[in-house]
Amino acid sequence: MVSSSICMGNGSVVIITGGASGIGLSLGQAVAELGCHVYLIDRQKEVVEEEAKKLRGKSLKVKSIELDVRDREAFITIIKEIHEEEGRIDYLFNNAGVGAGWDVKDDKPEDWDYIIDVNIRGVSNGIHATYPLMVKQGFGHIINTASMAGLVPSSLTVSYAMTKHAVVGLTVSLHGQASIHGVRVSALCPGFVETPILEGGVYGKVDRDKIKKGAKIFNLPGKLTPKELIKRVLPQIKKNKVIIIEPLYMKVYLWLYRFFPNWILGLSRKGWISANRKLKNPLK
């Protein structure tokens, strides 16, 4: 039985974009085990259906839906159909995301348009499709996957950091308005998580060669598996935390940035110089 207010359990309706892989897929697995009705949405049609199939034994209802989150009309139609079928939407995870670019002087402006479209417009499309329905029903929780790159400087991923800062800004600003309607909004800000995006992901517009070389040279600190991340994150979502940061040392990093911004900006600058040196790509 579902209650009339937000819960994450038997029969709660949970929609996840980017549900075919990594963080979104782990989330789908976790909430299916809780008995939620799970809607895995992704651009990768076959993969998302394959993954949904594997989860079908775990919950009464697991569906896969093909969608490019950049397509606002399709997003609105899909959410409307789910709401009509279920009579409620408890959680929307705006989680689909991509990486793009490296050295801004070489980046293509159309790749920036692309990352803005997926990482920012994809999230805003999800909000426009779902938020009014949640306001009407008087409950619901939208969780936007941002990143630590949305809270601190990230010299290695400038365009990505731009989009993730926008997602954090959007989330924390909407929070106050939404709470008046009984709707919750959170930003998920993970550090490094072992998923395909770290190597460019299926739809990333990145220099894969450089990323491959980089992966061999740099040992990204404190990487979590998606499963570990979700285990830490779900209790915080239940507690309605607005900004969710994992792992813990990233909170310390944010705290240092807030109190000593110039020091952290200096470290970020040195990180960029050292990354280029190690990749034998001397800065011109």
Ligand X SMILES: NC(=O)c1ccc[n+]([C@@H]2O[C@H](COP(=O)([O-])OP(=O)(O)OC[C@H]3O[C@@H](n4cnc5c(N)ncnc54)[C@H](O)[C@@H]3O)[C@@H](O)[C@H]2O)c1
**Strands 13-17 vs 140-145: parallel, antiparallel or unpaired:** unpaired
What whole-number distance in Å separates Cα of residue 200 and Cα of residue 212? Answer: 9
Place of tokens 């009579």: 87
- Helix extents (H) in 37-137: 45-55, 72-86, 109-115, 122-137
- 67 neighbors 74 (Cβ within 8 angstroms): yes
78 in contact with ligand X (CB under 6 A): no
Q: Which is nearer to ligand X, 78 or 88 (CB)?
A: 78
Burial class (CB in 10 A: 0-12, 13-18, 19+), 155: middle
Which one, 59 or 157, has the nearer CB to ligand X? 157
Size of the site for ligand X (CB under 6 A): 32
Question: What distances in angstroms separate CA 209 from CA 126, 193, 279, one per listed residue?
Answer: 33, 20, 10
Q: Taking contact as CB under 6 A, which single stretch among the options 41-49, 73-81, 172-180, 238-246 is the one that binds ligand X?
A: 41-49
Please tell me whether residue 161 binds ligand X under the rule CB under 6 A: no
User: Which are the catalytic amino acids?
Assistant: 160
Rule CB under 6 A: say whether 28 interacts with ligand X: no
Q: What are phi and psi of 144, to 5 degrees?
A: -95, 125
How far apart are CB 269 and ligand X at their closest, in Å?
21
Q: Which of 170, 197, 206, 250: binder of ligand X (CB under 6 A)?
A: 197
206 binds ligand X (CB under 6 A): no
Position 140 contacts ligand X (CB under 6 A): no
Footprint on this chain of ligand X (rule: CB under 6 A): 17-18, 20-24, 42-44, 67-70, 95-98, 118, 122, 145, 147, 190, 192-193, 195-198, 201-203
